[in-house]
Structure 1
Amino acid sequence: MSAGQQAAGAPATMTAGAPVLPSPRSEQAPGLTDGDWQPVLAAIRGASSVDLVCHVLPDGDALGSALAAGIALRSLGIEVRVSFGDDPQVVPGSLEFLPAQDLLVPASAVPERPELLITFDVADPQRLGLLRSRAEAAATAVVIDHHASNGGFGTYQLIDPAAPATAVLVDELLRRLGVPLDRDIATCLYTGVATDTGSFRYAATTPATHELASRLLATGLRHDLISRRLWDTQSFGYLKVLAAALDRAVLERGAADGLGLVWTWVPYADLTAHGVLPEEIEGLIDVVRKASEAEVTLVLKEDPDGSLRGSSRSKGAVDVAAACGALGGGGHVYAAGFTSHSTVDTTVARFRDALPPH
């Protein structure tokens, strides 16, 4: 039994006598036309091998989207490699249940000039890390993403900022390729959608998002076990890092035009002291953002080289993508990030000053 099957629990319902699943809806990707999809479909159908890559420190939407596509393309007889550009390449513990991780290869195993390379959830080529040069050298590069800040790199772009997750676009890709949902594909897609909608709590969630979730659940996956792994399972070391970050948190009630900013930071020394990997603290911001006095949240995480990775969230009244864009990053209105090589105080001041009026 695979790790994905263990997470899913119950047998798949795609068997004889099972209820017929509702057809996927093209409304899942309203910002894209047939003209956008056709050259991508032709490139995939004509490829003998495809490299599927997501951003460094992948979250559930990035890795889930890439693996779902990998399972689908493998079923079509296409040679597939899935990768991300970290060294060492470590799958976050919260995503170890995802199926088809036998498709994963280190960045060094991706050809220097891929025949066809597809990126998932990558808003900027810099987020490809060690794989950026491969994407730039690919004979054909396809970008599948939902970030409004995506500048449109690559040969073809399937970018829809209205989509709540990249996984939504992958679902539409599979529909157009004629690949039916099975439980493994559904587990990957559900992980992506649940991750980027905050378990369907964020404002980008639409009726079509719930319709997609219904189809995915109908394959027999165990959404309760997936949710437990994504949000409710952490190491004791993480709790110690979280405690220190909360103790370090600062509330600035006058920031963001009086709507409030809460921020904190995590020195790399905290991670090493408690044996915590950088990817383990990605969800820390979801705890800090609960402060009722602040519309905007910022968490800075120090990397080994001393640089700071900033993650920001908005509850809806402030466009944090604009603020992060001013610092060289990007993302969504409600969630965005950037990298800084300045001190913590300077970085917070720059972010605060960049917050647009509401």
Structure 2
Amino acid sequence: MNVYKQIAAEICNASHIVITSHKSADGDSVGCSLGLLHFIEKLGKKVLICHPDPAPDFLYWLDTSPILLMNEEPEQVEAAFQQADLIFCLDYNAVGRVGDMQALLESATCKKVMIDHHLDPEAFPDIIVSETTASSTSELIVDLIEGSGYDALLDDKIGTPLYLGILTDTGTFRFPSMKPRTHEVLAKLLAAGVQHHLVHEYLNDNNTVSRLRLQGYAMSEKLEIMEEYQVAIIPLSKEELAKYNYKKGDTDSLANHALSIRGMRVAIVFTERDGIMKISFRSKGEENAVNVLAAEHFSGGGHANAAGGMSELSVNDTLDKIRKLIPEYFSEVV
């Protein structure tokens, strides 16, 4: 039995299924969760999604009402974990990535299934699908549906959030993680009825005035270029975020904007939130991997060209630390 047929058998044998994903929700974590939920529902099974925190505002065009939030509905989330006889762990590879749900996940005695595409997965689940060459976890959910023999169930309700997950985790199809298989998956989603132009429209034509003003301020006033290393850095303090009525997700595209500057190889954006600096790293090329820097100095990690981390230092001290580390990790332009 292949692993996807095994997972499908577990779904069919379960009575109460819970889908989990990582804190700081993004397009892939929300997309793969909703796509899997709608697939399981079509199999006639009871399923709930439990996430640590809300999705960014720009994803609310999706119906996120099936998602229970630990930071808003802890009693309902706890009850879901207690009833669960099967738990899916989507788009994360370590129990520490689920924030305040960690204790619930660790204490759950039911079978757990990981489906993920990040490096170095922890061996806490019973079944592990870890495909680091996949573009996204949403792509792997399509593999699950197809590999388990239920591809006839794929429709636009299942496919739309999965298309979103692939779209966002590949940087709108620009990252090296886009492989021939990814294009095949996208074709299947379009054939299933996904209106791809509407996904792009809902995702990209969804700015607020305050979001655009914050991004304009960040690019015009806060952007720092280390020309000799072709690195762009943007630091934003909590006061600056508050001035522009920051909402979750408002700075998500800043690193890609900075990386789009002609000649830039690396972009680093960090914002002061919840008492720490949350850092996004983006880069181009295999020789400019940023996940090692994130892991070795900022308690983070991720993909070679897209990683995250955090710092408990002040804005200025974090900026100084990054400046000092850049020459150690990236070659000087001759």
For 1:252 and 1:213, locate their aligned partners in 2 and report how far apart those are by CA, in whole Å.
38
SS at match of 1:202: coil
Correspondences of 1:138-287 after superposition (within 5 Å): 138=108, 139-177=110-148, 178=150, 180-246=153-219, 247-255=221-229, 260-287=230-257
- Alpha-carbon distance, 1:41 to partner: 3.4
Is 36-45 or 127-136 further displaced after alignment? Answer: 36-45
Q: Given the superposition, is the C-alpha separation of residues 153 and 254 from structure 1 closer, same or farther in structure 2, using an over 3 Å criterion?
A: farther
TM-score w.r.t. structure 2 length? 0.87
Paired amino acid for 1:124: A
Determine the structure 1 residue equivalent to 2:308.
337
For 1:325 and 1:357, locate their aligned partners in 2 and report how far apart those are by CA, in whole Å.
19
Is 332-341 or 168-177 further displaced after alignment? Answer: 168-177
| Structure 2: gaps of 5 or more residues | none
TM-score w.r.t. structure 1 length? 0.82
- Alpha-carbon distance, 1:116 to partner: 1.7
Q: Given the superposition, is the C-alpha separation of residues 37 and 219 from structure 1 closer, same or farther in structure 2, using an over 3 Å criterion?
A: closer
Determine the structure 2 residue equivalent to 1:58.
25
Q: Which residue of the other structure, out of 94, 101, 104, is the alignment partner of 2:58?
A: 94
Q: Given the superposition, is the C-alpha separation of residues 353 and 150 from structure 1 closer, same or farther in structure 2, using an over 3 Å criterion?
A: farther
Query: Is 1:324 equivalent to 2:294 in the alignment?
Result: yes
Determine the structure 2 residue equivalent to 1:315.
284
Q: Deviations over 1:230-269 (max 9, x none)?
A: 23321110112112211211111233xxxx2111112222
Task: State the 4+ residue runs in structure 1 displaced beyond 6 angstroms.
Answer: none
Percent identical pairs in the alignment equals 25
- Alpha-carbon distance, 1:35 to partner: 5.2
For 1:145 and 1:353, locate their aligned partners in 2 and report how far apart those are by CA, in whole Å.
32
Determine the structure 2 residue equivalent to 1:295.
265
Query: Is 1:352 equivalent to 2:326 in the alignment?
Result: yes
Q: Which residue of the other structure, out of 99, 105, 108, is the alignment partner of 2:68?
A: 105
Q: Given the superposition, is the C-alpha separation of residues 349 and 156 from structure 1 closer, same or farther in structure 2, using an over 3 Å criterion?
A: farther
Correspondences of 1:41-80 after superposition (within 5 Å): 41-80=8-47
| Structure 1: gaps of 5 or more residues | 1-33
- Alpha-carbon distance, 1:36 to partner: 4.2
For 2:188 and 2:7, locate their aligned partners in 1 and report how far apart those are by CA, in whole Å.
24
Q: Given the superposition, is the C-alpha separation of residues 154 and 356 from structure 1 closer, same or farther in structure 2, using an over 3 Å criterion?
A: farther
Determine the structure 2 residue equivalent to 1:21.
none
Contact kept, 8 Å, 1:322 with 1:354, in 2: the verdict is no
Q: Given the superposition, is the C-alpha separation of residues 354 and 66 from structure 1 closer, same or farther in structure 2, using an over 3 Å criterion?
A: farther
C-alpha RMSD of the superposition = 2.1
